[in-house]
Chains A and B, each alone.
Chain A
Amino acid sequence: QVQLQESGPGLVKPSQTLSLTCTVSGGSISSGDYYWSWIRQPAGKGLEWIGRIYPSGSTNYNPSLKSRVTISIDTSKNQFSLKLGSVTAADTAVYYCARMAVGFDYFDPWGQGTLVTVSS
């Protein structure tokens, strides 16, 4: 079955850019049947959808983060990536990648998550 795995620096300085990659295994990211999303969760708090990408490169972003977010896809590596600019302590969270089937709007499966701390 499909598995997702996040990777990237666990510590980012304020005002810099957070960069994460999600590697998909057990299936092709190029399949036109799925969107690929990023979701985050600050410690002890709820979940926030960040954005999603389709294999064509088409993206949708959370309006509250849109000015700072870029999601890209590399079908040759079966990966998609997140960049979040001008980070502050409020961006400290566990970041998850997840899959969404076309025509549906739930997330399944999810990666295990990776903690990113914004601190100098």
Chain B
Amino acid sequence: QSVLTQPPSVSGAPGQRVTISCTGSSSNIGAGHDVHWYQQLPGTAPKLLIYNNNNRPSGVPDRFSGSKSGTSASLAITGLQAEDETDYYCQSYDSSLSGWVFGGGTKLTVL
């Protein structure tokens, strides 16, 4: 059971917009800790996609965006492409656990 809750799967057609939610609590996201997102292609290490809630590292397309409100955060992907079909994880810090925590991951399917 992950500390941060993500939907196991989401799907969308090419060109559409999808969002992936990440729900936490008052000891992590709700406490003001930043949320970060990673993309993990099959058989590879996670790659930083969004940091500090809504910032994209160099090289990440602007089709990817993040937001945070209250005890939740969201990753939005617009203009869906076949190459976006993979797993996505959110991550934050938890004050009660005194450590870094991840969501359980969401598998994005491009229909």
A-side residues, CB < 8 A to B, are 37, 45-49, 60-63, 96, 104-113
Among B45, B92, B97, B99, the residue within 8 A (CB) of A110 is B45
Q: Which range holds the interface residue count of chain B?
A: 20 to 34
Q: Is the CB of A104 within 8 A of B52?
A: yes
Among B45, B92, B98, B102, the residue within 8 A (CB) of A48 is B102
Residues of A within 8 A of B105 (CB): 46-47
Name 15 A/B residue pairs within 8 A (Cβ), A-sorted: A47-B91, A47-B102, A47-B105, A49-B101, A60-B98, A62-B99, A63-B97, A63-B98, A104-B51, A104-B52, A105-B34, A106-B34, A106-B36, A106-B51, A109-B48
The residue in chain B whose Cβ has the minimal distance to the Cβ of A47 is: B102
Residues of B within 8 A of A48 (CB): 102
Residues of A within 8 A of B102 (CB): 46-49
Q: Is the CB of A106 within 8 A of B52?
A: yes
The residue in chain A whose Cβ has the minimal distance to the Cβ of B89 is: A47
B-side residues, CB < 8 A to A, are 2, 33-34, 36, 38, 44-48, 51-52, 57, 89, 91-93, 97-105
Q: Is the CB of A60 within 8 A of B89?
A: no
Given A46-B89, A46-B104, residue A106 in contact with residue B99 (CB < 8 A): no
